[in-house]
Amino acid sequence: MEEIYTIPLRDAFKAPTTKRANKAVKIVKKFLAEKLNLPDVKLDASINDALWNRGIGKPPRRIKVKVTKEEDSTIVKLAE
């Protein structure tokens, strides 16, 4: 089963500019943990690259991810 989520990252901009990308990563993990009912979420390198692409002070305002659920694993990738 595949699902696409658009994750708003506006709360990352409440943090100081030196911590925004770190905050965005935490927001993505928290959002997915709540939606997927998983205690720990591992992010694909493509999601990390998208969040850090413009530097620590300017993460994107929102990000689209594709979640693929299989029998025993869950894969989270950047949606194209």
Distance of alpha carbon 66 from alpha carbon 68, whole angstroms? 6
CA dist 57 and 71 (Å) reads 38
3-state secondary structure of 36: helix
Is the overall model pTM greater than 0.85, yes or no?
A: yes
Exposed / middle / buried, residue 4 (Cβ in 10 Å: 0-12, 13-18, 19+): exposed
CATH of the domain at 60: 3.10.440.10
> What's the confidence (pLDDT) of residue 6?
97
* Count of domains forming the chain: 1
User: What is the pLDDT tens value at each position of the chain, 80 positions in all?
Assistant: 899 999 999 999 999 999 999 999 999 999 999 999 988 888 899 999 999 999 999 999 999 999 998 877 888 999 98
**What is the extent of the structural domain holding 20?**
2-78
pLDDT at 22: 96
- Can you tell me the distance from the alpha carbon of 10 to that of 27, in angstroms, rounded to the nearest whole number? 10
